[in-house]
């Protein structure tokens, strides 16, 4: 196949449209649940206040912002697949952003001073309740100006090839301060096989597993515990010879875990049993070691430090 033939074949896998819509129209679609953010994707919303403020500054100054990409479902509802941070920032500032797990509205955000609009400091979209009249907020004209600002919406149509959708999602979400590789993997797996995604989520909640890994709150928020479950499953089900040629661990993990969604031979009951037995043993061993190395007051025993020192372990 020639380069031109490959280009033409690849183009045929994606069907898309593009609309220019006002922020007010987008907010109305979101309010009516005609454009949605999956709860599993909402955890990726991690912009800091200064980033949110710069986006609102850009809109008010008339600076174009990048497109929002959505995937049109069979029921014609749009699911956001790129632009989550931007859309969530706008909706949160307007007081429209829902917590998709509870259905309740998130508290409206308060802006910070920016380079070109330092007076944005402390500003909200609407007047704040239970605040005196001196609290800064957008004027009626400024609110209208924001709502009339245009956003380009790129729509991936249902007839697009399924694998092309996942590839597009991956490419759109792997740049800049985007989500971690595991968060992208979670979102892709959710689109491919929700039941496998939920099964893996249950494994990461295993008490023995959580007690054994000891990761920070930040790594937990980024889904690193789910990545460790993924690594366990992938390594346990991959022949040694296939592990030697790995050049990119994230790509390898993604390809393998996605393949499990299609493999009938992937016996979840057997995998669950192996996982639970492994981490039950690891947690038991961890507690035994802790008991050996600490005295009755929780202090490290000199004998243990001497016997288990890095030199004796050859490190």
More confident site: 311 or 42: 42
Is the model's pLDDT at 206 over the cut of 60? yes
Mean pLDDT in residue range 208-216: 88
Please give the residue range of the domain that contains residue 227. Answer: 190-307
Is the model's pLDDT at 73 over the cut of 90? no
The reply to whether 153 and 236 lie within a common domain is no
Does residue 174 fall inside a structural domain? Answer: no
154: β partners: 18, 69
Overall number of domains in the chain: 2
Per-residue DSSP letters for 93-104? Answer: HHT--B-TTT-P
Does residue 169 fall inside a structural domain? Answer: no
Q: Give pLDDT tens digits for 120-162.
A: 999 999 998 765 556 899 999 999 999 999 999 988 877 666 5
pTM over 0.85: no
Q: 89 Cβ partners below 8 Å, 6+ apart?
A: 47, 51, 52, 55, 56, 109
Does residue 177 fall inside a structural domain? Answer: no
The reply to whether 20 and 137 lie within a common domain is yes
More confident site: 291 or 231: 231
Does residue 176 fall inside a structural domain? Answer: no
Domain boundary among 160, 182, 207: 160
| Listed range (2-6, 87-91, 164-168, 249-253) with the worst mean pLDDT | 164-168
Residues 110, 122 contacting (CB under 8 angstroms)? yes
pLDDT reported for residue 183: 74
The reply to whether 121 and 196 lie within a common domain is no
Split at pLDDT 50, 70, 90, the class of 251 is confident
What distance in Å separates the CA atoms of residue 182 and residue 174, rounded to the nearest whole number?
11
pLDDT reported for residue 14: 67
What distance in Å separates the CA atoms of residue 273 and residue 102, rounded to the nearest whole number?
33
Nearest Cα to Cα of residue 168 among 86, 241, 89, 67: 67
Mean pLDDT in residue range 80-109: 90
pLDDT reported for residue 161: 63
């Amino acid at each position: 196949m020639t380069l031109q033939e490959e280009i033409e074949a690849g183009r045929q896998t994606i069907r898309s449209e593009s609309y220019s819509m006002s922020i007010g129209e987008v907010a109305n679609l979101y309010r009516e649940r005609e454009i949605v953010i999956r709860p599993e994707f909402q955890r990726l919303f991690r912009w800091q206040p200064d980033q949110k403020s710069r986006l609102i500054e850009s809109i008010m100054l008339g600076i174009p912002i990048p497109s929002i990409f959505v995937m049109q479902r069979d029921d014609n509802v749009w699911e956001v697949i790129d632009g989550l941070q931007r859309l969530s920032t706008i909706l949160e500032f307007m007081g429209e952003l829902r917590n998709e797990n509870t259905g309740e509205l998130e508290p409206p955000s308060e802006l910070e001073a920016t380079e070109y609009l330092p007076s944005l400091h402390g500003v909200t979209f609407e007047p704040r309740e239970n605040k005196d009249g001196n609290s800064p907020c957008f004027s009626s004209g400024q609110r209208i100006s924001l709502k009339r600002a245009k956003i380009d919406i790129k729509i991936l149509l249902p007839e697009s090839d399924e694998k092309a959708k996942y590839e597009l999602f991956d490419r759109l979400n792997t740049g800049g301060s985007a989500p971690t590789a595991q968060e992208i993997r979670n979102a892709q797996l959710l689109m491919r096989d929700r039941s496998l995604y939920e099964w893996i989520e249950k494994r990461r909640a295993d008490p023995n597993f959580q007690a054994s890994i000891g990761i920070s709150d930040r790594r937990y928020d980024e889904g690193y515990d789910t990545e460790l479950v993924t690594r366990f499953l992938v390594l346990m089900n991959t022949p040694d010879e296939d592990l030697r040629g790995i050049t990119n661990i994230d790509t390898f993990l993604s390809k393998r875990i996605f393949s499990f969604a299609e493999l009938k031979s992937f016996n979840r009951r057997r995998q669950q049993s192996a996982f639970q037995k492994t981490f039950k043993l690891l947690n038991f061993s961890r507690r035994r070691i802790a008991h050996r190395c600490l005295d009755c007051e929780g202090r490290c025993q000199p004998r243990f430090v001497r016997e288990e020192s890095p030199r004796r372990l050859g490190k």
